[in-house]
Amino acid sequence: MNLDQTLKNVSLVSAFIGWVDSSYLTWVKWTNSAVACLPNLGNCNVVNSSRFSQIFGIPIAFMGGVAYLLILILLLSDKEGHRFNQTFLMAIFGLSLVGVLFSTYLTYIEIAVLKAICPYCVLSAIAILLVFVCTLVRIKTLG
């Protein structure tokens, strides 16, 4: 397996994990359920019930889930030698860049404002960062 395929596979797995994670947090938000969080491992409910957990009434987790789903669709559509390969990569790059920047902002909110960390949010931040880095390396190596 070549480097490009390996990076694509890491992106696929990361985006899938991010999608599952975001889907779970969206379900929790829409059903007003408590987040399943291990004791002494963050305070998920503080984060998920804060005013920062939605924009215009839409859960941020839902927006993240949509972004991860789009990334998955683009990755699965990205065939080697396909003439739109660079276009797909740039779209994934753009989505993941926005995701990394927004995750950085949300992590700041968790730490500085809410004084609570949500492990699910950290998992999502790591997942989108992996997609971003893998995509950046793919763009650089494909020229």
What are the extents of the domains in the chain? 3-142
The pLDDT score that the predictor gives to residue 82 is: 58
pTM: predicted TM-score of the whole model, two decimal places: 0.91
The pLDDT score that the predictor gives to residue 120 is: 94
3-state secondary structure the chain: CCHHHHHHHHHHHHHHHHHHHHHHHHHHHHHCCCCCCCCCCCCHHHHHCCHHHEECCEEHHHHHHHHHHHHHHHHHHCCCCCCCHHHHHHHHHHHHHHHHHHHHHHHHHHHHHHCCCCHHHHHHHHHHHHHHHHHHHHHHHHC
The pLDDT score that the predictor gives to residue 80 is: 63
The pLDDT score that the predictor gives to residue 84 is: 56
Average pLDDT across each block of 10 residues of the chain; the chain has 143 residues. List them in order.
Answer: 89 98 95 82 84 94 97 86 73 97 96 92 97 95 78
The pLDDT score that the predictor gives to residue 88 is: 86
CATH code assigned to 3-142? 1.20.1440.130
